[in-house]
Amino acid sequence: MNKYIAGIALVTLPFFSNAETTIVSEILVGTTHNNLTTSSHIRGENNKFSNSENSESYGIRLGVKFTDNISIELSRNVHGSVESNFTYTYYTQSPGIPGGGTIPSETQAITADHSFDIESTKLGFKLEYNLWSDLFINTRIGIAYWEYDDSTPHYSHDDGDTGNDVYYSVGADYHITENIYVGLEYSFFEATDNWDDTSGDNLGSFGKFSHEVEDLSLIAGWNF
């Protein structure tokens, strides 16, 4: 999917490569608010945890304006690292006692620290409107290809995960000069996935996770 997004961008850009085309470049720095919910069914036990945490974020964005109000954009965003923990509950079965009978099973709980990094590549459209003088308001919509690095919200999965979901944003830009501007943007997408384990000790285990990614970013941009 990441290569697919890049391919669309590379194929599309030449159509706008003429004397009237405006190329836009932006740097984004801000904060990501992470809302994470994970549920699982492992070895007969249901487990669920949720967490809300902020992380630092940054990104770069390139765009091509093919009218005064519409642009196509490609961006790469790093949403930071989230530290979390969850409790996994399971039963232990003791062997029989001398003379017959069994010892009742006991419940054990393990609290595990969990961290993961999330990044995204976004391809979409920007619609903007000149509200007043040098002040513009805008909205964006497109596809976010998200990636977890090294570890994920999955139980027993440590090799990362990927997916794609719709993103949208609203914001405003103020032009300091004809070619230089600053802005503020709020953007949102939700990374969701299901998993199941069909082998080993966790046979029959399954679960799902939802990760809401909300970015509030300051923007420095220029046209050329």
Per-residue pLDDT tens over the stretch 170-181: 999 999 999 999
Q: What is the CATH number of the domain that holds 84?
A: 2.40.160.20
pLDDT confidence bin for 221, thresholds 50/70/90: very high
Strands 106-132 and 70-92: antiparallel
Residue with more model confidence, 186 or 53: 186
pLDDT confidence bin for 209, thresholds 50/70/90: confident
Tell me which residue has tokens 């909300």: 214
Rounded CA separation 13/10 (Å): 6
| pLDDT computed for residue 23 by the predictor | 95
Q: Give the residue numbers spanning the domain of 173.
A: 2-223
In angstroms, how far is CA 128 from the centroid of its own chain? Answer: 24
Which H or E run includes 4?
A: helix 2-12
Q: pLDDT tens for residues 5-44? A: 555 555 555 554 554 689 999 999 999 999 988 877 766 6
Strands 45-65 and 22-42: antiparallel
Domain count, the chain: 1
CA dist 114 to 84, 154, 198, Å?
5, 10, 23
**pTM: predicted TM-score of the whole model, two decimal places:** 0.75
Question: What are the φ and ψ backbone dihedral angles of 218, each rounded to 5 degrees?
Answer: -90, 140
Question: Using a CB cutoff of 8 Å and minimum separation of 24, what contacts does 76-79 make?
Answer: 76/119, 76/120, 76/121, 76/122, 77/28, 77/119, 77/120, 77/121, 77/122, 77/215, 78/117, 78/119, 79/32, 79/34, 79/55, 79/117, 79/118, 79/119, 79/120, 79/213, 79/215
Tell me which residue has tokens 């998993």: 195
What end-to-end distance do the CA atoms of the chain give, in Å? 29
